[in-house]
Amino acid sequence: MILFDQVSKRYPGGNEALSNVNFHLHPSEMAFLTGHSGAGKSTLLKLIALIERASTGSVIIGGKNLNKVSHYTLPYLRRNMGIIFQDYQLLYDRTVFDNVALPLIISGFSSREVKKRVHAALDKVGLLRFEKKYPITLSGGEQQRVSIARAVVNKPALLLADEPTGNLDPDLSREIMDLFMAFNQVGVTVLIATHDIPLINQLDKRIIQLSHGQLNPEKTGNTEQFTVDS
Amino acid sequence: MVRGNTSSSRDNTVSSVQLRQLKPSFSSRFKEFFIRHLQVFFYSLGLLSRSPFATLMTASALGIALALPAGLYVILDHASQLSGDMNSINQISLFMKKDTSAKNINTIQKKLEAYPEIAQVKHINRAAALQEFQDNSGFGDALKALKNNPLPDLLVVYPSLTHSDPQQINTLLIELKKIKQVDLVQLDIQWLQRLYAIINIGQRGVLIIGSLLALAVLLIIGNTIRLAIENRRSEIVVMKLIGGTDSFIRRPFLYTGFWYGLLGSLIAVLLVNISLIIINDPLAHLSSLYDNNLFSLGLMGINISSTLLLSGCLLGLFGARIAVGKHLKEIEPK
Ligand SMILES: Nc1ncnc2c1ncn2[C@@H]1O[C@H](COP(=O)(O)OP(=O)(O)O)[C@@H](O)[C@H]1O
Ligand SMILES: [Mg+2]
C-alpha cells in the first residue's frame, strides 16, 4: 500500500529532513511512526499526502508513483486518503454535519447519500447527537473525532494521522487510538505519527522509528529495498 | 461503515494493490453537478448578504463606475438620433437671380422635383415674400418707400429622407450651384457637421471612459475576491487536503464575482435612470424654448439596460476568474 524507495527530502535552504528512507507498509497493516521532535515524521506523512514532494527516490501509494502525479490529478489521489491532523483542520463556520459531508460533496454524492453516510460516520465516532453543533462548541477530543469522521466518511483505503492525540489527555488518546484500531480491523491501512510511546507500547502494532531523518532498522523491520515496477 | 471486507491475505506485489475508493455513479454525479452549482450559486449570495454593508459599498462603487459610461452613452445615443431627425428636415434655400422669369422658375422647380435626391420643392414668390415681410416685420412703411422689390424669388428644396446625410447633401449642393439662374445656395449645414463631429468625439470618449471604467470594475472585483480568498484561506487549505479540485474551490468565488457584477450593474441602471429623471424636466423646458416639440431623454431603453446588466455580470465573472487564478495557486497545504 505504501512503499518508500530510497526517499530523501531536503527542504529549500534546510538540512535533509529525510535521508534514504526505505520501508513498505502492506495493505490493511497498521503502523506507528515515532521519533523525536524534528525526526521527520510529519515530513514523511506529507510526502504520502503529496503536501510535499520527495527530493530523490519514489513514494508509491497503491501502485501509483507519486512522482508522476500532476497538480490536476492530485485531488483525486487525496480522495483515496483520509488525513487527520493534530489541529483538526475543521471549518468553524460550518456545522459538524457540514464538515463531515465535505469530502462527499466534493466527490458529487447525492444529498440523500451524503446524509446517510455522514450519519454512519458520526455514529461510528459517537458524535451523532452533535451533528447540528458547531465545532467550536465541542471539546478537543470531540473535535478530533469530527475530523476522523470526515477522514473516513468516503471510506478511504488509507488513513494517515499526524499526532492525532497530541492535544488530548491519556484517556481520550486511548479512545482515539481504539477508533483507529477499529478501522484497521475492517481492512483500512493506517499510519499514525506520534511520540506518545507509553500509549503505543500498550498496542501491539508495528513501529516505524525515525531518527534525524533516518529509519532505525532494528526497530522498524521490513526495510529491505524493493524493486519497483511501475 | 468502513470497508466491509476484512482482507486478511496481504498482497505483497505492490503494483497489484490499487487504492479503492467509494465513488458515486456517473448519473448521480451528473445530476449532482447541477444541483451543487445551484447550491453554490445561492450559497455565495448568502455569504454576501452576511455582510450587507460591505457588499453594498463594493456594489455601489461598481455601480458608479458602470453608470458613468452607460449614462454618457444614453445621452449620446439620443443626441445622434436627434441630429438624425434634424437632418431629415434639412432644407436648402435657392435664391434666384432677380431677372429670372416666373416661367423659368417654374421649369426649374419641375426639374428639381424629378430628382430622386429631392423630396419636394417649394416656390416662395418674391412679391408674396415682400408682402409678408411688410406685414410682419414692422418695417412696412420703410419698405413701401422702396421702388423695387429687393427680395429674390426663393426655391426651398427639401432633400428626400434617403439622401439626407451631410455627405449626400453636400453633393446635392454642388449640383444645385451649377444651375445658371441660381444666385445663391444656402444651407446652414455647418452646425450639423459640428454636431456630428462632437457626437463622434463623444462616442470615442465614451469608448475610452467605458474601457477605463471596465478596467476599474475588474480591479475592484479582483481586489474584493482577493480579500474573500484571503479570508477563506484556511477553508481553501482544508478543501485541498480532502481532495477538492481547483474548479470546485474556484466556483463560489466566481459566483461571488457574478453577484457583485449583477448588483453593481443593477445599481448603475438605477443611478442612470434617476439621473435621467432629474435631467428630463429642465431639458424639456429648454427644448420648449427652441420649438414646440418637447424633447426628452426618456428612461434607459431595455436594450441598453440589458447590455449593461450583461456586461456587469461578465465583468464580475471575469474579474473573479483572474483573481482566483492568481491567488488560489498561492494557497497550498503546508
Ligand atoms: N517547511 C519546512 N521548511 C524547512 N524545514 C522544514 C520544514 N518542515 C520541516 N522542516 C525541518 O525538517 C525536519 C523534520 O521536521 P518534521 O518532519 O516536522 O519533524 P517531526 O514531525 O518528526 O517533528 C526538522 O528539522 C524541521 O525543522
Ligand atoms: Mg510533526
Residues of A in contact with B3 (CB under 8 A): 155, 157, 186-188
Residues B172 and B210 placed together within one structural domain of the fold: no
Q: Is residue B29 part of a domain?
A: no
Residues B176 and B293 placed together within one structural domain of the fold: no
Do residues A127 and A146 make contact, with C-beta atoms less than 8 angstroms apart? Answer: yes
Picking from B129, B162, B186, the residue at the C-terminal end of a domain is B186
From the CA of A213, give the closest atom in ligand 1. 14
Question: B190 touching A, CB under 8 A?
Answer: no
How confident is the model at residue B86, as a pLDDT?
A: 60
How confident is the model at residue B119, as a pLDDT?
A: 83
> Is the pLDDT reported for residue B297 higher than 90?
no
Task: Give the integer Cα–Cα distance in Å for B65 and B67.
Answer: 6
> Is the pLDDT reported for residue A161 higher than 80?
yes
Q: Is residue B169 part of a domain?
A: yes
Strands in A214-215's sheet, in edge-to-edge order, are A81-84, A158-162, A189-193, A30-34, A206-211, A214-215
Helices (H), A18-169: 41-48, 74-78, 96-107, 111-124, 140-152
Contact B17 A62 (CB under 8 A): yes
Contact B3 A186 (CB under 8 A): yes
Residues B138 and B226 placed together within one structural domain of the fold: no
Do residues A213 and A19 make contact, with C-beta atoms less than 8 angstroms apart? Answer: yes
pLDDT, tens digit, for every residue of A62-96? Answer: 999 999 999 999 999 999 999 998 889 999 999 99
More confident residue, B86 or A98: A98
Sign of the dihedral through C-alpha A51, A56, A61, A63: positive
Model confidence at B89, pLDDT cuts 50, 70, 90, reads low
How confident is the model at residue B9, as a pLDDT?
A: 40
Residues whose beta carbon lies within 6 Å of some atom of ligand 1: A 11, 14, 17, 35, 37-43
How many CB atoms sit inside 10 A of residue A225's CB? 12
Model confidence at A180, pLDDT cuts 50, 70, 90, reads very high
Best residue among A11, A47, A208 to mutate for probing ligand 1, ranked by most atoms within 8 Å of CB: A11
Residues B157 and B58 placed together within one structural domain of the fold: no
Q: How far is CA B168 from the centre of its chain?
A: 27
Contact A91 B16 (CB under 8 A): no
Model confidence at B295, pLDDT cuts 50, 70, 90, reads low
Residue boundaries of the structural domains of chain A: 94-155
Domain holding B159: CATH number?
Answer: 3.30.70.3040
Residues B262 and B150 placed together within one structural domain of the fold: no
Do residues B254 and A117 make contact, with C-beta atoms less than 8 angstroms apart? Answer: no
- Mean pLDDT for chain B? 82
Residues B215 and B319 placed together within one structural domain of the fold: yes
Residues B211 and B304 placed together within one structural domain of the fold: yes
Task: Give the integer Cα–Cα distance in Å for B76 and A176.
Answer: 72
Residues B104 and B166 placed together within one structural domain of the fold: yes
Length of chain B: 334
Picking from B186, B208, B230, the residue at the C-terminal end of a domain is B186
Average pLDDT of the residues in A41-53: 95
Please tell me the pTM assigned to this model. Answer: 0.74
Q: What is the largest CA-CA distance in chain A?
A: 50
A113-117, A125-129, A206-210, B132-136: lowest mean pLDDT where?
Answer: B132-136
Q: Which domain holds residue B52?
A: 36-83+196-327
More confident residue, B12 or B214: B214
Q: How far is CA B42 from the centre of its chain?
A: 30
Q: Is residue B5 part of a domain?
A: no
Residue B96, strand partner residues: B182
Task: Give the integer Cα–Cα distance in Å for B321 and B255.
Answer: 10
ipTM over 0.85: yes
Residues B111 and B149 placed together within one structural domain of the fold: yes
How confident is the model at residue B154, as a pLDDT?
A: 86
Side chain identity, residue B174: I
Domain count, chain B: 2
Q: Is residue B228 part of a domain?
A: yes
- Mean pLDDT for chain A? 90
Task: Give the integer Cα–Cα distance in Å for B275 and B297.
Answer: 10
Residues B216 and B312 placed together within one structural domain of the fold: yes
How confident is the model at residue B293, as a pLDDT?
A: 59
Ligand 2 centre to CA of A76 (Å) is 25
Q: What is the largest CA-CA distance in chain B?
A: 132
pLDDT, tens digit, for every residue of B168-193? Answer: 878 888 888 888 888 888 776 666 67
Picking from B129, B160, B186, the residue at the C-terminal end of a domain is B186
Task: Give the integer Cα–Cα distance in Å for B224 and B235.
Answer: 17
Average pLDDT of the residues in A116-121: 96
Q: Is B92 exposed, middle or buried (0-12, 13-18, 19+ CB in 10 A)?
A: buried
> Is the pLDDT reported for residue B257 higher than 90?
yes
Average pLDDT of the residues in A29-38: 94
Q: Is residue B129 part of a domain?
A: yes
Query: CA-nearest residue of chain B to A77?
Result: B243
Residues B245 and B277 placed together within one structural domain of the fold: yes
> Is the pLDDT reported for residue B40 higher than 50?
yes
SS3 state of residue B118? strand
H/E run at residue B116: none
Q: Is residue B63 part of a domain?
A: yes
Distance (Å) of CA B280 to CA A85, B81, B148, B321: 65, 16, 50, 40
Task: Give the integer Cα–Cα distance in Å for A18 and B127.
Answer: 114
> Is the pLDDT reported for residue B21 higher than 80?
no
Strands in B154-159's sheet, in edge-to-edge order, are B118-124, B154-159, B92-96, B182-186
What is the 3-class SS of chain A, one letter each residue? CEEEEEEEEECCCCCEEEEEEEEEECCCCEEEEECCCCCCHHHHHHHHCCCCCCCEEEEEECCEEHHHCCCCCHHHHHCCEEEECCCCCCCCCCCHHHHHHHHHHHHCCCHHHHHHHHHHHHHHCCCHHHCCCCHHHCCHHHHHHHHHHHHHCCCCCEEEEECCCCCCCHHHHHHHHHHHHHHHHCCCEEEEECCCHHHHHHCCCEEEEEECCEECHHHHCCCCCCCCCC
How many CB atoms sit inside 10 A of residue B196's CB? 17
Length of chain A: 230
From the CA of A45, give the closest atom in ligand 1. 17
How confident is the model at residue B130, as a pLDDT?
A: 81
CA distance A95 to chain B (A): 14
Q: Is residue B3 part of a domain?
A: no
> Is the pLDDT reported for residue A205 higher than 50?
yes
> Is the pLDDT reported for residue A219 higher than 60?
no
Find where cell 449626400 sits.
B168
How confident is the model at residue B66, as a pLDDT?
A: 93
- What do you get for the CA distance between the two ends of chain A, in Å? 13
pLDDT, tens digit, for every residue of A80-89? Answer: 999 998 889 9
pLDDT, tens digit, for every residue of B52-62? Answer: 999 999 999 99
Residues of B in contact with A106 (CB under 8 A): 239, 242-245, 248
